[in-house]
Structures are given as structure tokens and as C-alpha cells.
Amino acid sequence: MPQYRYSTNGRPPTLTGYVVSNVVRIRLNDLRRVAPVIDAASAAGANLQHSLRFALRDPQAARLRALAHAARRARAAARALAAALGLRIVRIASARETGPTGAAPSPRIGQQAVRMQPRTTPIEWGAIRVTAGVNLTVVAAPR
């Protein structure tokens, strides 16, 4: 990208040089390699690193497991409510997914990581939380 110096006296801009950038995207499956790869990129001359992102390899499978877990919890809650009211669940009339779903990654750089890895880029691993909610409508009858 050309860089210019602009004059305040109405003269045409003067070309002063160029800025060159190169974007490299790296995907790793081994979290232990994140800091060494960042360090190697810096040693090779990279001076701007951004968009460090952690994601699940198979987010759909994790979402389905969370949804199944939410369904089991909703069913258990419905049974507990029915029992407390002297009822029994006859059948589930409907079930639907509710609430926010998906994966929320949370990588952090922290002081603990700095103490643990003094010679590498500090990366403190967070958790990728996958959530799901289920709303059940049940038909209940007296015991």
C-alpha cells in the first residue's frame, strides 16, 4: 500500500514508501503449541498478532450433548414438580429448545501463565462453555 506525504500548500502528494502486510491463519489442534507458534512468528518478524480464538473441533456434537443433558434435566425437574404436587407425568406434550445456545470461548492472558511460562508468550486457557436449554410441556394426572 503506497504511503504519501501531503502538502499543506496545494502541491501534489509525495510518495514516501510502501507498507506491506501479510496475513497468516494458523489452525492448531494441540493447545500446548499455541504459545510456541506465536513465539516463532514473532522471532520470524511478525509484529502484529490478533484474533487469537479458541473453538471446538466439532461444535455440533457438543451442542447436541448439551441439548440432551438439558432435556434430561428438564424431565427430572418436571417429575420433581409433579411429585411435589401429588401428580404423575402421563406424557410430554411438547419440547423445544430455549435460551442462548452455542460455544463461548474465553482464552485469557494472566499472571499465573506468566509465572508458569516465563520464556514464552503467556496463554492462560479458559473454558469453552456450550449451553442449551429445553422447555417441556407435560400432561400430568393424579397419582
- Give the model confidence (pLDDT) of 74-97 as tens digits: 999 999 999 999 999 999 999 999
140 lies in which domain range? 54-143
Q: For residue 117, what pLDDT is reported?
A: 42
Q: pLDDT category, 104, cuts 50, 70, 90?
A: low
Q: Say if residue 127 is in the same domain as residue 138.
A: yes
Q: Say if residue 46 is in the same domain as residue 59.
A: no
Q: Say if residue 110 is in the same domain as residue 137.
A: yes
Total domains, the chain: 2
Q: Say if residue 58 is in the same domain as residue 42.
A: no
Q: For residue 101, what pLDDT is reported?
A: 60
d(CA 102, CA 119): 35
Q: Say if residue 65 is in the same domain as residue 131.
A: yes
Q: For residue 20, what pLDDT is reported?
A: 87
Element (H or E) spanning 68, and its range? Answer: helix 59-84
Residues in the chain: 143
Which of 68, 84, 75 lies closest to 137, judged by CA?
75
Q: Say if residue 94 is in the same domain as residue 137.
A: yes
Q: Say if residue 39 is in the same domain as residue 109.
A: no
Q: Say if residue 39 is in the same domain as residue 58.
A: no
Q: Say if residue 43 is in the same domain as residue 66.
A: no
Q: Say if residue 27 is in the same domain as residue 58.
A: no
Average pLDDT estimate for 100-128: 58
In the chain, the percentage of residues whose pLDDT exceeds 90 is 43
d(CA 46, CA 40): 9
- The per-residue pLDDT for range 39-80, each reduced to its tens digit, is 888 888 887 777 777 888 888 999 999 999 999 999 999 999
